[in-house]
Each structure stands twice: as C-alpha cells, then as structure tokens.
C-alpha cells in the first residue's frame, strides 16, 4: 500500500440524475500528489464520479448527491460551501479541448481574472504555460487566437488554464481521447511531471494509459441496469497484475467491456 496523505475522500457517495442512480455507495481515498485513474466500461459513471469532485454535476438539472466528499477536511457538499470556491481549488480538464474563442493569453488569464487575481498576470500566464510544456510553442503568439493551435496544443492550453489558478487537484476527463498518439504521449509525460506538485484524478477508457500513468486505479462497473458500482480500488500495479475482484480481472483481460 502506498502511504501518503489523503487529498480527497468520498464517503458512501451516491449520485442521481432524476430517477436514474449513476453512483452507488462510493467510498474511496484519493492520495495527495499521485495520479489516480478511474477506469471502467462506457456508461459506468466514471465521468459522473469525476464531476462530483468539483461539483460540476450541480450544473446538470435534476442531479442530486448524497454522502460526502471530503476535501481538506470539509465536506464540499455542505450547505455553507460555494461551488465556486471548490472549482477555484480543484481544476478540471475536459474530454474535448475547449479553449475559449479568445487569445492564448486571455485563455490562461481567464481563471485568475474571474477570481480577482489581477496582479502579475503576465508572470502567472507565463509560468502556467511553462508548466504545461507549451511556452516555447506559443510564446510568440500569445495575442493570437487559441483556436489556431493544434488539438494537442489546445489540450495543453486547457491544462495551463487550469494550472494558472494553482489548484491542489486537477481532474482530467479522458483528456487524450480526442488526440493522436503523439499528442497523447506528450500529455502523459506532462501528467507525470505535474504529479510532483498536484494531485491528479484521471478518467480514461484506455487500459494501457491507466497502467502507464497512474499510481492508483479504481474500477467502476455496471451490472445489468445498475451503474456506478466501485468494484475494486487499489494501487495500479496490484489492480492490473493481481486483481482481487473477478469482475476487474475479466475487464482488464478484455473479456468484456
């Protein structure tokens, strides 16, 4: 077992979209400064679980959460917590690169600006772009539209955009699914280097990717019409080489899913 401090912890977390239950009794501890992968078949609730960590499900009408998600000792679903603060501390990168139709600079400066951090913007932006391994490619075109960048560059820009707020956690929802293998490799390298300073939770449908980059792995599954069951959670090496659960073994050896 890897011993380290918890960054996020869920306690019997359940999620409904209207009458549909998307997550069932999820309890897990996500360690700090490590990469935790959430894997599982399509529709099992991977992305839904990820969106619970920064309250993005709040934006979906009819969604309801019970249980707790502890972050820094506080339940982020407590009544006195503004989701804005959670999203300020926990960044997110989406499945499809979604840079705003603004300049490269304005994209990275967006987070600091909306949160009122207007001092040293130039420096914040440059540093975020450095950390996202994008600086050298865009330093001469900071004022040009972000839409001119390639898909892989756009995704690294979205990572830089999240980094500009210096979050404690970065959530990544299948960040490479729209990218070619080369761009994917770049993002994976980047994730490894970011894990030194950040806690990363990544949703992926790509087994190899989970095995390559993650320290911890959670296998979410779907049985008949029951979605969102956490079948197994543990160190990636153990989950992939010596799964305790028969269903995990079937899935990672490709017998279903």
Partner 1 sequence: MKKDLAFQRRLKIRQLQGSSFSALFLAATLVGIFALVILLVDVFRDGIGWLDWQFITSYPSRKPEEAGLLSAFFGTLWVMVLTALFSFPVGIGTAIYLEEYAPDNRLRRLIQTNINNLAGVPSIVYGLLGLSLFVQALALGRSVLAGALTLTLMSLPVIIIAAQEAIRSVSEAHRFGAYALGSSRWQVVRRIVLPTALPGVLSGTILAMSRAIGEAAPIIAISALVYLTFIPSSPLDRFTVLPIQIFNWVSRPQEGFWHLAAAGIIVLLVVLLSMNAVAIILRNRYQKRTEE
Q: Which residues bind partner 1 (CB under 8 A)?
A: 54, 56, 59, 61, 84-85, 87-88, 91-92, 94, 96, 98-103, 110-111, 114-115, 143-145, 147, 158, 161-162, 165
What phi and psi values does residue 110 have, to the nearest 5 degrees? -60, -50
Tell the smallest beta-carbon distance from residue 233 to partner 1 (Å): 25
Measured between alpha carbons, how far is 126 from 116 in angstroms, rounded to an integer?
18
Q: Which residue has the tokens 């892989």?
A: 152
User: Least CB distance from residue 47 to partner 1, whole Å?
Assistant: 12
Give the nearest distance from C-beta 109 to partner 1 in angstroms: 10
- Residue placing its CB nearer to partner 1 in the complex, 72 or 241: 72
Across 94-113, b (16+ Cβ under 10 Å) vs e yields beebebeeebbbbbbbbbbe
We find the least distance from the C-beta atom of residue 61 to partner 1, in angstroms, to be 6
The DSSP letter of residue 103 is B
The answer for residues whose C-beta is within 8 angstroms of residue 201's C-beta and 6 or more apart is: 8, 30, 35, 36, 37, 38, 50, 53, 169, 170, 171, 172
Nearer to partner 1, 11 or 102 (CB): 102
With respect to partner 1, which residue has the nearer C-beta, 12 or 98? Answer: 98
Residue 145 Cβ, how far from partner 1 at the closest point, in Å? 6
Q: Is 90 helix (H, G, I), strand (E, B) or coil?
A: strand
Judged by CB, which is closer to partner 1: 82, or 225? 82
Looking at the Cβ atoms of 171 and 221, the one nearer to partner 1 is 171
């Amino acid at each position: 077992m890897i011993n380290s401090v918890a960054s996020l912890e869920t306690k019997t977390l359940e999620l409904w979209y209207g009458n549909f239950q998307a997550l069932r009794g999820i309890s897990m501890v996500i360690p700090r400064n490590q990469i935790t992968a959430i894997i599982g078949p399509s529709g099992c609730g991977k992305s839904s679980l990820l969106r619970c960590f920064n309250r993005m499900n709040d934006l979906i009408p009819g969604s309801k959460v019970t249980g707790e998600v502890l972050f820094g000792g506080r339940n982020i679903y407590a009544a006195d917590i503004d989701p804005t603060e959670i999203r300020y501390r926990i960044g997110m990168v989406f499945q499809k690169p979604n840079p705003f139709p603004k300049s490269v600079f304005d994209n990275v400066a967006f987070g600091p600006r909306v949160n009122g951090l207007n001092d040293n913007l130039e420096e914040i932006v440059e540093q975020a772009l450095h950390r996202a391994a994008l600086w050298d490619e865009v330093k001469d075109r900071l004022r040009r539209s972000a839409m001119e960048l390639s898909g892989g560059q756009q995704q690294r820009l979205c990572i830089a955009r999240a980094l500009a707020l210096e979050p404690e956690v970065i959530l990544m929802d299948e960040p490479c699914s729209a990218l070619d293998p080369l761009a994917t490799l770049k993002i994976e390298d980047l994730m490894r280097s970011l894990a030194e300073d950040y806690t990363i939770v990544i949703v992926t449908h790509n087994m190899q990717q989970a095995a390559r980059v993650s320290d911890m792995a959670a296998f979410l599954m779907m049985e008949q019409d029951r979605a969102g069951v956490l079948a197994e959670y543990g160190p990636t090496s153990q989950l992939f080489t010596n799964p305790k659960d028969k269903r995990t073994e079937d899935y990672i050896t490709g017998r279903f899913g």
